[in-house]
Chain A
Amino acid sequence: MAEIQALFHGFSVAFTPFNLALMMAGILMGVLIGVLPGLGGANGVAILLPLTFAMANQPGGATSAIILLSCIYWGALFGGAITSILFNIPGEPWSVATTFDGYPMAQQGRAGEALTAAFTSSFVGAFIAVLMITFLAPLVAKFALRFGPREYFAVYLLTFCSFIGMTKSPPSKTLAAMMLGFALAAVGQDSMTGALRMTFDQVVLFKGFDFLIAVIGLFGIGEILITLEEGLAFKGMQGKINMKVVMQTWKQLPKYWKTSIRSSVIGCWMGITPGGATPASFMGYGVAKRMSPNGANFGKGEMEGVVAPETAAHAAGTSALLPMLTLGIPGSPTAAVLLGGLLIWGLQPGPLLFQEKPDFVWGLIASMYLGNIAGLIVVLTTVPLFAAVLRIPFSIVAPVILVICAIGAYTVHNSMFDVWMMLVFGVVGYVFKKLDYPLAPLVLAIVLGDRAEESFRQALLGSGGNLATFFDNALVGSITALALAMLFWGPIKLVFSRLTGR
């Protein structure tokens, strides 16, 4: 039980008035950052990084510095759900899956319930991930080492395959949207040969299409266009607004314990490998839809459809810090910036960090427990406040959303071209919705398309072009087999039910 002892030592490091104040400040800033689309956790942490530089020079200061930054990260994870549920505009890419059921709930006047469910599940996911980090860190770090290019590709394949048939649209439309996403993800540099493709010599296209711009446009602008057409009104403004809703929702949540556990496992795994919070949230949603008895109602405002992605996203976001600390590999863009911070403060992440800097590591882990509890309290008390936003007339809120979206799109790369791209994506989003094409597969393909391609080609380079490499050992073979099973789930189920029917 050396871990318990170390953890309590960590609590003694983290539990000072100064650190607690930093925690609160970090969570508040993080929530604000999470609410604003485009201004992601990575940007927020990067902006504040230089401020912590002076802080880190005092004794124990590195711990305070990372507590501040990681709490911004927790806050952003919490905050991303707010606009997804209220306006169908994901504040962060990992909140896209939350819109599927969160927004329909808000439209039915159940915004308070959806927000409470989202925040609580986030907390549960994070808490399970921290428990795992506390007790299994060395084991898990070793497991992560077994992931080479072919294992990564198998994981991405699994994410994509679990998506087919997940939305209400027919599989052919899902596939078409996904393929368009792959095409967009291919723009920019081909990382295997260094050549530029589909850029038409336009410097603005060199960096490719950022999925943040696509998310803001497709969901944010697209949603506003739709609402404009449907007559300038929010549905669901009649929702109840008081603190009772928190208690009522909590009464219902224990029902979904199976989903929570499944999503936590998916999240922890995706955070470590490192797939990141975005694929974790999609996979969590997809698996829950398949496994849950209420699966057929997903997408129509089912609370379980909010619980699943939020639990997975937060578990992944939290466990992504583990490969960063033990391997120096960031599991998410925000973790990448935090990694830069560690180096500047004179801490070198690596296999020896746990032994050499126990104060820092266990202080950080203790702060994960405290920060998430603080975060939950902060966001839950604000549920009525955020739910009340829906009572403001659309004619006032819409321009504000539009301006925030534009600022968000601009901040991603400080580029005006991105704002135009956002508007183009907005029109695409509108057309997609009118023709009943799903948006999420498009976004997923833009987010993961180039990474999947890269792993696929790295794996084939290593195997000399032999596809059998994806079944080479038990680990990669079972992930690939699982992915293929997911892909052909529909036909398999059909055959199965016919066989058992006769």
Chain B
Amino acid sequence: MKRNAIRKLPGVLAALFATGTLTAAAQGWEPTKSVEFVVPAGTGGGADQMARLIQGIVTKHNLMKQPMVVVNKGGGAGAEGFMDMKGSKGDPHKIIITLSNLFTTPLAQGTPFSWKDLTPVKMMALDQFVFWVNSAAPYKTAKEYTDAAKAAGPGKFKMGGTGAKQEDQIITVAVEKITGAKFTYIPYKGGGEVATQLVGKHVDSTVNNPIEAVEQWRAGNLRPLCVFDDKPMIYKTKVTATMAWSDIPTCKSQGMDVDYQMLRGIFMAPGVSKEQTGYYVGVLKKVMDTQEWKDFMEKGAFSQTTMQGDEYTAWVAKEEKRHEGLMAEAGFLAKK
């Protein structure tokens, strides 16, 4: 048997590397060895799912001649992955997918890196945030809920979220600033766990991403109050018997002007050439044209905003400024 198992191994390896045939391209840069796709977060989260989807699409449609390998480097809220990229100056065989920790981690921890240490490649999508309560709770609108929280007094209502001093807590503080309600914020490791804690009534509300909470919504366990965007989501297919994503009102329309989306973007190491970023932009464009990608976007109700080049760089710069402002207001900045 052992011999059998060992004999199987080369077969597996061959299949793994089957994508890498050695027909050299006539023009432009192409990877000459396997590409490491760094995920600055643990397995199973939103960034990890998207990275593995991209890897799967690339493999299935033969979009790259070299294999793509997903590597999780989530230590220190992603600092591990970002520091690794920063240290890989000029290495074109490494790309990284980011979430908001691209901004929040250096600001909250004082880790010595910023997005300027990376080379922006392409924005893949923006992830939305929705205000959720348990469907057994009496609150039908965001205002009803925040008024009740305010009336109950500080610390009586619990808000569950992913991570500390990251996007979920930033939104919580922004909601508190506008409404005057004071929540007890309880950080958890992952979005799925947060949604389940709300179903089990261990917290009173969450700001889960759509994909983290959609199944519990469909099962009638959760109720969306509003979406933290200035316009409603575009997906009109009914998710529950009565509602589609597009039926969820904006928080702004409910008198709560909080607008926040999370970047799902791809970056490369510093000091790579235009040709090299161009190659990845091309591959990622092909990824986004596939049906699998479009299905995933709809299922997770992503905002399909996409950018590359200077426009993307300018967007990232603006977003960093905004996070600095939000986090300074919340008192989350690292003491220098």
A residues in contact (CB < 8 Å) with B: 25, 28-29, 31-32, 42, 46-51, 53-54, 57, 145-149, 188-196, 199, 203, 206-208, 327-330, 333, 336-337, 339-341, 343-344, 346, 348-353, 378, 381-382, 385-386, 413-414, 454, 458, 461-462, 464
Contact = CB atoms under 8 A, between A and B. Distances in A.
A50 B215 contact: no
Contact of A328 (B2, B75, B163, B196): B196
B187 interface: yes
Contact of B186 (A348, A350, A385, A458): A458
Given A50-B56, A50-B59, A147-B200, A352 B215 contact: yes
A191 B189 contact: yes
Most A CB contacts (10 A, CB to CB) among B8, B56, B155 go to: B56
Given A328-B196, A385-B2, A349 B8 contact: no
A502 B323 CA distance: 72
Nearest to A274: B193
Contacts of B195: 328
B186 A189 contact: no
7 contacts: A46-B70, A51-B16, A199-B76, A329-B192, A330-B192, A339-B192, A462-B184
B179 to A, nearest CB: 21
Nearest to B43: A336
A148 B2 contact: no
Given A29-B12, A50-B56, A53-B56, A194 B108 contact: yes
Contacts of A29: 5, 8, 12
A302 to B, nearest CB: 28
A491 B21 CA distance: 69
Interface in B1-18: 1-2, 4-6, 8-9, 12, 15-16
Interface in B152-184: 155, 158, 163-166, 184
Given A28-B5, A53-B56, A344 B77 contact: no
B12 A196 contact: no
B49 interface: yes
Contact of A385 (B1, B79, B155): B1
Interface string B55-68: 11101100000000
Interface string B189-208: 10011011101101100000
B73 A413 contact: yes
Contacts of A147: 200
Contact of B16 (A47, A54, A329, A461): A47
B71 interface: yes
B90 interface: no
A350 B109 contact: no
A46 B79 CA distance: 22
Contact of B218 (A25, A195, A352): A352
B72 to A, nearest CB: 8
Given A148-B202, A149-B186, A207-B75, A328 B215 contact: yes
A349 B5 contact: no
Given A50-B60, A199-B76, A330-B192, 8 more contacts: A194-B77, A329-B192, A337-B44, A344-B49, A344-B52, A352-B218, A385-B1, A454-B189
B79 A350 contact: no
A462 B183 CA distance: 10
B80 interface: yes
B18 to A, nearest CB: 9
Contacts of B285: none
Contacts of A49: 52, 56
B221 interface: yes
B79 A203 contact: yes
Given A194-B163, A330-B44, A351 B215 contact: yes
B299 A348 contact: yes
- Top 7 nearest A-B pairs by Cβ distance? A350-B215, A207-B75, A206-B76, A148-B202, A336-B44, A53-B56, A194-B164
Contact of A50 (B52, B193, B211): B52
A145 B199 contact: yes
A328 B189 contact: no
A340 B158 CA distance: 28
Contact of A194 (B8, B166, B221): B166
Contact of B59 (A53, A189, A328, A340): A53
B159 to A, nearest CB: 11
B38 to A, nearest CB: 10
Task: Give the one of B74, B184, B186 with max A CB within 10 A.
Answer: B186
Given A32-B9, A194-B166, A344-B52, A349 B80 contact: no
Contacts of A414: 71
A148 B201 CA distance: 9
Nearest to A463: B184
A264 to B, nearest CB: 25
Most B-side CB within 10 Å, residue of A49, A193, A203, A414: A203
Nearest to A349: B215
Contacts of A188: 75-76
Contacts of A194: 77, 108-109, 163-166, 332
B186 A191 contact: no
Contacts of B192: 327-330, 339
B188 interface: yes
Interface string B277-320: 00000000000000000010001000000000000000000000
A146 B199 CA distance: 9
Contacts of A330: 44, 192
A42 B43 contact: yes
A207 B78 CA distance: 9
A361 to B, nearest CB: 14
A112 to B, nearest CB: 15
B200 A196 contact: no
Given A351-B219, A462-B202, A195 B109 contact: yes
Contact of A207 (B74, B197, B200, B219): B74
Nearest to B214: A348
Nearest to A147: B200
B80 A206 contact: yes
A346 B290 CA distance: 14
Nearest to A189: B76
A346 B57 CA distance: 13
Nearest to A341: B52
Contacts of B184: 461-462, 464
A362 B116 CA distance: 50
Interface string B211-243: 100111011010000000000000000000000
A31 B5 contact: yes
A174 B186 CA distance: 33
B48 interface: yes
Contacts of B211: 343
Contacts of B158: 462
A42 B42 CA distance: 12
A382 B44 contact: no
B43 A333 contact: yes
B53 interface: yes
B83 interface: yes
A414 B158 CA distance: 39
A382 B4 CA distance: 11
Nearest to B300: A343
Contacts of A57: 60
A42 to B, nearest CB: 7
